[in-house]
Amino acid sequence: MRDGGPAAEVPRQHPGHPGDGVVLPGPGAAAAPYGGPPQAAARRAPVGQAPAGRVAAGRVAAGPRGQGGPAGRPGPGPFVPPARGPRRDYVEAFDDPSPDLSGPADPQPPHSPHGTAGEDGAGGAGGAGGAHGEDGPGGGRPARAGSRRRTFTGVAAAAVTTALAIVVAGQVTGTGAAQGDSVAAGGPERSSGEPASRSDGRPTPKSPWAAGQEKPTYAQLMSRPDDLDPDLALSGGFETVPGSDGAPGEGPVKRYRVDVEKGLPLDGALFAEAVHRTLNDDRSWAHDGALAFERVSSGKVNFVITLASPGTTADWCARSGLDTTVDNVSCDSASTERIMINAYRWARGAETYGPDAMFSYRQMLINHEVGHRLGHGHEYCSEDGALAPVMMQQTKFLATDGATCRPNAWPHPES
């Protein structure tokens, strides 16, 4: 009817439980002006349901009138039971190729046939007093976006939850397998709360001595020759051997420091120990309490015993007018604080002593050069077969004026 007649009823599946057997008008059925023809209310019927405006054959049932008219005014028409099929919310959600997921997923309660106030404002479904909804002022289309958003939000949440569960399960399984492998391989077990050590997986530093081999004694180390280039010349920089050794004797103390040239492939600590032991031996210059020698690593000293390459030794000896290049020897550079021990001689010894007397030769080097610093000059062999004086140039020779002496490392060998 065009003038004053009620609008035609458009059956719609109620957005509640699927298959509840009741068809209620949608809120968009009152979109046409009062007395005008129905507009925009017809929709594509869900799968298994009769098209809008038609009644499924054999399904007419008695019931209350629908709400095809405006604001609570009933319109004529029978209630038609809905065809069995999926819920409209689910079908519409997947019909729309680009659902709106940007807005909040507000819950949409079922529309009451009596027009109670809901999410679309006072007056209920299709009421003239409806507030602004998803489709603009005054109602028009029912609020489908909320249902679609809820559907897609639920699907997305389920997908994310499933993915997280798979990841967590994989991590737990991988961790368990790794721990099982570690235990099976005999590796140490660590509690989950214990932090990883920075040394995990790093090789344990090996001892310089072979497994089961005892550390060599001082005498053994002093008896071993070392390899060194006789023409080696390093940078001339020095490092002080750290630490100190007190003076054991009762005599006047002579303080000294031990320096080793940087880059020298020799044991500086062994050299420092040899100096201190040799000088404070009763056969040395500390004999009978005459002197006591104290090693320090800083402060004022009486002299600096220096182990240096042949090239650096020659440089420092030349400062005192001495030439050590002819026989690659050592010297007391008297115009400086340094007593220069030639590293080549310390490493290789001399023919006059031979390879079996390396220990004694090193002791002789120390006593001879420190003897110069203490004021003693060169001496010579006075009797054939006698012990050579420690101040004899034993690196070069053992015989003078037809007399040949035996090697000797001490100022007071009789002690």
Task: Give the pLDDT band (50/70/90) at residue 380.
Answer: very high
pLDDT digits (tens, 9 = 90+) for 318-352: 999 999 999 999 999 999 999 999 999 999 999 99
Task: Kindly tell me if the per-residue pLDDT of 66 is higher than 60.
Answer: no
Give the pLDDT mean for 113-134. Answer: 39
Lowest mean pLDDT among 3-12, 331-340, 367-376: 3-12
Task: Kindly tell me if the per-residue pLDDT of 112 is higher than 50.
Answer: no
Model pLDDT, residue 249: 84
Q: Which residue in 106, 108, 135 sits closest to 31, CA to CA?
A: 135
Coarse DSSP helix, strand, coil percentages of the chain, rounded to the nearest 5 percent: 25, 10, 65
Task: Give the pLDDT band (50/70/90) at residue 250.
Answer: confident
Give the pLDDT mean for 139-155. Answer: 52
The CATH 3.40.390 portion of the chain extends over: 218-404
pLDDT digits (tens, 9 = 90+) for 272-305: 999 999 999 999 999 999 999 999 999 999 999 9
Tokens of 100: 């709106």
Cβ(310)–Cβ(233) below 8 Å: yes
Q: Which CATH architecture has domain 218-404?
A: 3-Layer(aba) Sandwich (3.40)
Model pLDDT, residue 213: 80
Exposure string of 217-245, with b = 16+ CB inside 10 Å and e = fewer, is eeeeebbeeeebeeebebeeebeebeeeb
Q: Which residue in 39, 40, 41 sits closest to 24, CA to CA?
A: 41
Give the pTM.
0.52
Give the pLDDT mean for 122-150. Answer: 43
Task: Kindly tell me if the per-residue pLDDT of 402 is higher than 60.
Answer: yes
Q: Quick one: what percent of the chain has pLDDT higher than 90?
A: 47
Model pLDDT, residue 356: 95
Model pLDDT, residue 153: 60
Give the pLDDT mean for 192-206. Answer: 46
Mean pLDDT over the full length of the chain: 71
Task: Kindly tell me if the per-residue pLDDT of 408 is higher than 50.
Answer: yes
Between 95 and 332, whose confidence is greater?
A: 332
Task: Kindly tell me if the per-residue pLDDT of 122 is higher than 80.
Answer: no
pLDDT digits (tens, 9 = 90+) for 207-226: 455 567 889 999 999 999 99
Question: Which residue stretches of 114-245 are H helix?
Answer: 145-184, 218-223
